[in-house]
């Protein structure tokens, strides 16, 4: 059985969130062994088995994935899917939200930060895929704006992503970010035009700026923790899934 780590924070009443690791599952080699992504070169039958275990470990029948592109598209999931008849293409988006009970919203990552948003009043839950590209393209602004229609009170949880020590970037990255925030979360690499970027902290400050009230953070670094997938560390590798869902009202 795949490993499932529950987020150790109370986002909102009746809301659950957490993430998978490399443990359990059927994948082999570079994808060993609980890869949740179909787009990384792993055998489809293994990913299908890993996702079957994801359903089992979370108790969810309905889990939604996206075709992620490091963009800012947000989709609203408004009805449960007919698992047998609905085999259509996945939405092309990097964030999704719903107020329907029992639908698991998933984001796949290996270094990027999965950002979960929960609305304690209006019963919405959402999730975004945030690397520097997604952050620069405004995916969090889009998700918060979409969910704010229901409530002004939002809480957030940042799942495991790459930490500052492990995330060296160049001027091409920095010039795309909001300089008012980035100047507070970078540190120059000595004698080079390179910087260490604290991406989770950047996202946390961005969320604060957007009015998100309570923000919780995972302390796991995907690059350092061998139990998680890291694209920067391994290049050919799998993805963990981070999920959020509303269990009850
Ligand atoms: Zn690290």
CATH number at residue 99: 3.60.140.10
How far is residue 138's CA from residue 164's CA, in Å, rounded to a whole number? 21
Give the number of other CB atoms < 10 A from CB of residue 51. 22
CA of 174 to the centre of ligand 1 (A): 19
Residue 218 lies in a domain: yes
Other C-beta atoms closer than 10 Å to the C-beta of 213 total: 12
- Classify burial at 212, counting beta carbons within 10 Å of its beta carbon; exposed 0-12, middle 13-18, buried 19 or more: buried
pLDDT of 151 higher than 80: no
**Domain membership flag for residue 175:** no
108 assigned to some structural domain: yes
CA distances from 73 to 101, 127, 139, 147 (A): 22, 12, 7, 13
Say what the pLDDT of residue 148 is.
Answer: 83
Rounded Cα gap, residues 124 and 227, in angstroms: 31
> Is residue 195 within 8 Å of 182, Cβ to Cβ?
no
| Local confidence band at 82 (pLDDT 50, 70, 90 cut-offs) | low
Average of per-residue pLDDT across 115-125: 92
More confidently predicted of 82 and 98: 98
pLDDT (average), residues 27-36: 98
For residues 34 and 228, give the distance between their C-alpha atoms in angstroms, rounded to a whole number.
Answer: 10
Ligand 1 centre distance from Cα of residue 225 (Å) = 8
Q: Is the pLDDT of residue 150 over 90?
A: no
Q: How far apart are the first and last CA of the chain?
A: 29
pLDDT for the residue 83: 59
Is 193 a domain residue? no
Residue 38 resides in a domain: yes
> What distance in angstroms lies between residue 4's CA and the mean position of ligand 1's atoms?
21
Q: Within a domain: residue 178?
A: no
pLDDT at 123 over 60: yes
Name the pTM for this structure. 0.96
Point out which residues pair with 76 in neighbouring strands: 97
pLDDT of residue 101: 95
CA of 162 to the centre of ligand 1 (A): 5
Q: What are the C-alpha distances in Å from 206 to residues 36, 65, 102, 136? A: 28, 25, 29, 11
Cα-to-centroid distance, 219 and ligand 1 (Å):
10
**Cα 112 to averaged position of ligand 1 atoms, centre (Å):** 12
Residue 34 lies in a domain: yes
Structural domain boundaries enclosing 113? 4-162+199-246
How many whole angstroms from 165 Cα to the centroid of ligand 1? 5
Measured in degrees and rounded to the nearest 5, phi and psi for residue 175 equal -70, -15
Residue 249: the pLDDT is 67
- Give the closest residue to 199 by CA, choosing from 154, 140, 240: 140
In a domain, 167, yes or no: no
Average pLDDT value for residue range 207-226: 96
Domains of the chain: total = 1
Q: How many A from CA of 239 to the centre of ligand 1?
A: 17
Which ranges of 59-191 would DSSP assign to H, the alpha helix?
A: 132-137, 139-148, 171-174, 179-182
User: Binning pLDDT at 50, 70 and 90, where does residue 86 land?
Assistant: low
């Amino acid at each position: 059985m795949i490993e499932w780590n529950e987020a150790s924070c109370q986002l909102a009443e009746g809301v659950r969130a957490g993430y998978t690791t490399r443990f359990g599952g059927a994948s082999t080699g570079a994808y060993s062994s609980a890869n949740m992504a179909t787009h990384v070169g792993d055998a489809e039958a293994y990913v299908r088995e890993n996702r079957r275990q994801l359903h089992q470990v979370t108790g969810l029948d309905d889990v939604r994935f996206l075709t992620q592109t490091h963009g800012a598209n947000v989709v609203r999931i408004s009805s449960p899917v007919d698992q047998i008849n609905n085999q259509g293409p996945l939405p092309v988006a990097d964030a999704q939200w719903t107020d329907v009970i029992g639908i698991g919203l998933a984001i796949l990552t290996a270094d990027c930060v999965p950002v979960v948003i929960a609305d304690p009043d209006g019963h919405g839950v959402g999730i975004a895929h945030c690397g520097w590209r997604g952050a620069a393209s405004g995916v969090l602004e889009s998700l918060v704006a979409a969910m704010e229609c229901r409530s002004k009170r939002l809480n957030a949880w940042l799942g495991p992503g790459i930490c500052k020590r492990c995330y060296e970037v160049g001027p091409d990255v920095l010039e795309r970010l909001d300089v008012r925030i980035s100047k507070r979360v970078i540190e120059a690499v000595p004698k080079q035009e390179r910087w260490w970027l604290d991406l989770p902290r950047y996202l946390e400050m961005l969320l604060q700026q957007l009015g998100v009230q309570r923000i919780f953070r995972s302390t796991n670094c995907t690059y350092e923790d061998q139990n998680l997938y890291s694209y920067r560390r391994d290049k050919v590798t799998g993805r963990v899934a981070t999920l959020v869902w509303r269990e009850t009202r």
